[in-house]
Structure formats: C-alpha cells, structure tokens
Chains A and B, each alone.
Chain A
Amino acid sequence: MRWFWIDRFTEFRSGHSATALKSVSLSEDYLHDHFPAYPVMPASLILEGLAQTAGLLIGEHSGFTQRVILAKVSRVQFRFLALPGDTLTYRATIIDINRDGAMAKTTSHVGDRLQGEADIFFAHIKDDVAGEDLFEPQGFLDLLRMLRMFEVGRQSDGSPIEVPEKFRHLQGA
C-alpha cells in the first residue's frame, strides 16, 4: 500500500488554498479490518489526507525547497462516519505562513455536508536537522503529476503553476 491519502487535486491556488478528492472504496484493504463487516474510513486517515492536502499546498509555496512536516493538530473534529462509496472533498486554506512553519485550516465534506475539520500546524525543519530531501525527487515529481497539481494549479495572478525549478532537470519535467 502506498501512503497516498488523496486521489487528486481539483483546485490549487498557490499560497492560498487547495481542494482534493478522496474516494472511499471497498476495494481498499484497510476497510476490511476497520471494522470487519462494518467498513468505516478511519478518522486518522482522513486527517492524514487533510494534512497531505495542506502540506503539499504549503510545500509548493516555497517551490518545495522547504522541508515541511506535520508538527501538530491543534483541533480536530469529525461529525459523521465516511463509508465506502463516499467521496470526501478535502479543502485546505493557509492561515499563516512564515520562516518557521505554517498554519492551515482544513475541512472534509461529503457532498455539501461538513464531515470533519482540523487546524493543522506544520513546521519547516532546518538544514541542520535534515540535510537531505524528505522525498526521492523523481518519485515526488511523479506524485505531483498524478495528483494533477500542474493541471489545476494556478498562481495568484491566474497563470498556471509550473514544475518547480528544483525538479526541472528530471524526466517528464
């Protein structure tokens, strides 16, 4: 199993907000343990999807030059269970971003119904803590493409988001 907890972006406004979809399907293994005969998308994995939506939004803001890690979930609340057949719509909005990290507000909807919400705080880790990239660059660029970040992504002036400079030497860039 790959640790991808969003399927694709449908909206991505650089430095501002992003929307991603996650389809919950009975073909996913984990649903058969959580719980046997009563499959429920674990709230912890919804939270992970919200964090991935927000984390990629925050990482893109620096052209993925900053190493962004989830530092803290200040507040989280879920209102009802997400079940197979549901499509979760995750929205992340950057509240604040600076040299040390970023704060994002996120929500999860099923249709128009608010399913969950979380305030997530991300830290930028320093060079002396981690000297290398957190992700293998080619695999990471491929992931951004799979998530359609460059298809839907827009800068604040409406122009498309381009492949960040640090990835331009890679295949398919």
Chain B
Amino acid sequence: MALSEENFGKIQEALTEALGVDDDEVTPEATLVGDLGAESIDFLDIVFRLEKAFDIQIPRGELFPEDILGNSDYVTDGKVNETGLEELRKRMPFANLDQFAANPLVSEFGNTLTVQAMCNFVEGKLSS
C-alpha cells in the first residue's frame, strides 16, 4: 500500500516535528521507537499531529495498543502470549508483526512500529 508523495510528506513533517529528527531519518523502514527515539508521550503528540494534518480521528490505543501490552490476560512473563498476539494482529492490520511474534518480548514491541506501518495506518483511515 503506497501513500501519495504529498501524504508521505505530511507524515514526515509530523514525525520530524514531534520527534526532533531530520527528514532523511524518516525512511519507510525506520522504527519509531528504536530508530527515531519515540517515547510513550510522543505517541500522543504524533496522534495529535496526524489528526490535524489529515483531518482524521484516531482513538486512543488504535495506533499503539498500550492497553494490550499492559493487560495480564495478554502478557505472560514479559512476553505477549498467543491470545495477545491474536489480538494485536486484529487491532494492527497495518503493521507487520511476524518478526515480533518470533520473540514477543513486550520490551521489544516498540520496534515493530515502522514509518511504513504508520503510513499504512493513515492510508487505512483515509480510505475508510
């Protein structure tokens, strides 16, 4: 799923402003947490900027499902269990979770969300 150049530019702008990174760091494969240094409060900031840039509504937890990662039904010994993975796949069709699923440590979850996943997410929102 490819975003138009204009829309990718808007996402790039939201991320550079929210995270204080340079344009050229915001590549499709960059991870928000690992590569761009996003922290939890940044996700609120990013969501605000995306809502404004695209005139969309993003309910809390939709882009970054913190509620699943903090729920003991879905997490066992610091890892997301099978039920949790199923829930994540359902909630995050825009992200590729295969690599995360191989060793689903909660602490590694931040590295699953890439710029590409965010583009897919916005694309999904715009077409719905």
Binding site for B on A (CB under 8 A): 71-72, 74-75, 95-96, 98-101, 103, 119, 121, 123
Q: Which residue of B lies closest to A119 (CB)?
A: B17
Q: In the assembly, what is the distance between CA of A95 and CA of B45, in Å? A: 12
Q: Kindly state whether residue B121 has any CB partner on chain A within 8 Å.
A: no
Binding site for A on B (CB under 8 A): 17-18, 20, 41-42, 44-45, 47-48, 51-52, 60
Q: Which residue of B lies closest to A72 (CB)?
A: B41
Q: Is A100 a contact partner of B60 (Cβ separation < 8 A)?
A: yes
Majority secondary structure of chain B interface residues (helix, strand, loop or mixed) = helix
Choose among A98, A99, A121 the residue that contacts B45 (Cβ–Cβ < 8 A): A121
Q: In the assembly, what is the distance between CA of A119 and CA of B44, in Å? A: 14
Shortest Cβ distance from residue A95 to the other chain B in the assembled complex, whole angstroms: 8
B51 / chain A contacts, CB cutoff of 8 Å: 96, 98
Q: Is B17 a contact partner of A71 (Cβ separation < 8 A)?
A: no
Q: Is A74 a contact partner of B18 (Cβ separation < 8 A)?
A: yes
Q: Is A74 a contact partner of B44 (Cβ separation < 8 A)?
A: no
Q: Is B18 a contact partner of A123 (Cβ separation < 8 A)?
A: no
Q: Can you give 17 A-B contacts (C-beta < 8 A)?
A: A71-B41, A71-B45, A72-B42, A74-B17, A74-B18, A74-B20, A96-B48, A96-B51, A98-B51, A99-B60, A100-B44, A100-B47, A100-B60, A103-B48, A119-B17, A121-B45, A123-B44
Choose among B20, B44, B60 the residue that contacts A121 (Cβ–Cβ < 8 A): B44
Q: Which residue of B lies closest to A95 (CB)?
A: B52
Nearest 8 CB-CB pairings of A with B: A71-B41, A72-B41, A121-B45, A103-B48, A96-B52, A96-B48, A72-B45, A100-B44
Q: In the assembly, what is the distance between CA of A99 and CA of B47, in Å? A: 12
Q: In the assembly, what is the distance between CA of A71 and CA of B40, in Å? A: 10
Shortest Cβ distance from residue A70 to the other chain B in the assembled complex, whole angstroms: 10
Q: Is B52 a contact partner of A71 (Cβ separation < 8 A)?
A: no
B44 / chain A contacts, CB cutoff of 8 Å: 71-72, 100-101, 121, 123
